[in-house]
Amino acid sequence: MTQSEYRLPSRLTKADGSPRQVGFELEFSGITLNRTGEVVQQSLKGRVTEQTEAEQVIECDGFGPFNIELDWAFLKRKAAEREEAGTEDEWLHRLSQAAELLVPVEVVCPPIPLAQMDSLDPLVKALREAGAQGTEESLIAAYGVHVNPEIPDRSATTLFNYLRAFALLQWWLVEAHQVNTARKISPYVGLYPEHYVCLLLSRKAPDIDQIFADYLTCNPTRNRALDLLPLLSDFDAERVQRAVDDPRINARPTFHYRLPNCQIEREGWSLAEAWNRWWVVESLAEQAQALDELGARFLASQKPLLGVNRKDWVEFIDRWLHDHGLA
Q: Which residue type does 304 have?
A: P
CA separation (Å) from 317 to 167, 175, 290?
Answer: 12, 11, 12
Per cent of the chain over pLDDT 70 is 87
Please, which pLDDT band fits residue 74 given cuts at 50, 70 and 90?
very low
Q: Which residue type does 175 have?
A: E
- 18-30: b or e for each residue (b if 16 or more CB lie within 10 Å)? eebbbbbbbbbbb
Residues 6+ positions from 100 with CB-CB distance below 8 Å: 32, 33, 70
Q: Rounded CA gap, 103 and 67, in Å?
A: 16
Predicted pLDDT of residue 187:
81
Each residue of 88-145: pLDDT tens digit?
555 445 544 544 555 789 999 999 999 999 999 999 999 999 999 998 765 555 789 9
CA separation (Å) from 16 to 20, 22, 132, 301?
Answer: 10, 17, 39, 40
Give bridge partners of residue 57 from the DSSP assignment. Answer: 50, 67
CA-angle at 242, arms to 201 and 281, nearest 5°: 30
Each residue of 16-30: pLDDT tens digit?
999 999 999 999 999
Predicted pLDDT of residue 78:
37
The rounded Cα 45 to chain-centroid distance in angstroms is 26
Asked if residue 151 lies in contact with residue 162, where contact means CB atoms within 8 angstroms, the answer is yes
pTM over 0.85: yes
